[in-house]
Amino acid sequence: MLEVVDVYILCSVVLYSGIVLLTYDNYSQAVQNWLVLVTHVFAIPMIYILRNTAWIFSTVIIGLGCSVAYHTSIVFDVGQEYMGPLDISFSTLTLILVTVLVLFEEFPEWMLPVLLFVVLLLGVFWSDQMVADIVGGVTIICQVIFVVKRTFDYFFREADSKRDILFLYISLILGGGGVVAFLTDGKHSDEHYAIIHSIWHTCAYVAMYFGLRSIRRSDITDMRVPRVVFNSKLIGKIAYH
């Protein structure tokens, strides 16, 4: 069930995207670049909901910082060649992390080396858009398959008690809108790249928020998988013999 805060967040995305689509031709390049930077505030709900899962929370914060740094470098036209690889790597990492949290009841250990490989791959080939498109495309296909499976279970089998189908639908619709925005005027040299890219930011961040909201409240506060290699303490003991 949608709560008041969910409605506010959803309406803010729809309102922002609608205004941009109706007025996208009226913004200078400088204003477009600043709007992309400002739209990182839409990540706040997702960050808040992850606050109790320290290692994922920290990873997402680092990714958000890299994205802010990259788009700041665009605003001031300095250091883009250094910030670009960090942005594409950690932004995609955030998308995959949230997807894995929604798809699996427990975070699979085999996913850790996969995530490391993806980050290195995108960091090396960050200027090749096709690589990022393939990685992102595979992730989105997994999301679609999952939602279709949950829909089938909901209508033809026992209703799923671990994921809320309404939030999954909202997440998928917003994610689809974000992908369309990402692919429209997708080159940095395109006249309206920045302003359209800002819609991708808003839709993607809020889509991930609603994806996490689909996890039932009894689970969302304890998404950390108990394991030996992850110490829940901030520092923990140093290993020695």
- Tell me if 240 is assigned to some domain: no
Task: Provide the domain limits for residue 146.
Answer: 30-105+127-220
pLDDT 10s per residue in the chain (241 long)? 789 999 999 999 999 999 999 998 899 999 999 999 999 999 999 999 988 888 889 989 999 999 999 999 999 989 888 899 999 999 999 999 999 988 888 788 888 899 999 999 999 998 888 898 899 999 999 999 999 888 888 777 766 667 888 999 999 999 999 999 988 876 777 788 899 999 999 999 999 999 999 987 655 545 444 444 455 555 555 444 3
In whole angstroms, give the CA distance from residue 41 to residue 178. 16
- Tell me if 10 is assigned to some domain: no
If you ran DSSP here, which 8-state letter would residue 215 be given? B
In whole angstroms, give the CA distance from residue 143 to residue 179. 13
Question: What pLDDT, on a 0 to 100 scale, did the predictor assign at position 188?
Answer: 72
Report whether 44 contacts 75 (CB < 8 A).
no
- Tell me if 12 is assigned to some domain: no
- Tell me if 34 is assigned to some domain: yes
- Tell me if 112 is assigned to some domain: no
Report whether 107 contacts 225 (CB < 8 A).
yes
- Tell me if 233 is assigned to some domain: no
CA-based R_g, the chain, Å: 18
- Tell me if 36 is assigned to some domain: yes
One-letter amino acid identity for 76? Answer: F
How many domains in the chain? 1
- Tell me if 72 is assigned to some domain: yes
Question: What pLDDT, on a 0 to 100 scale, did the predictor assign at position 184?
Answer: 85
- For residues 162-173, b (16+ Cβ closer than 10 Å) or e, as one string? ebbbebbebbbe
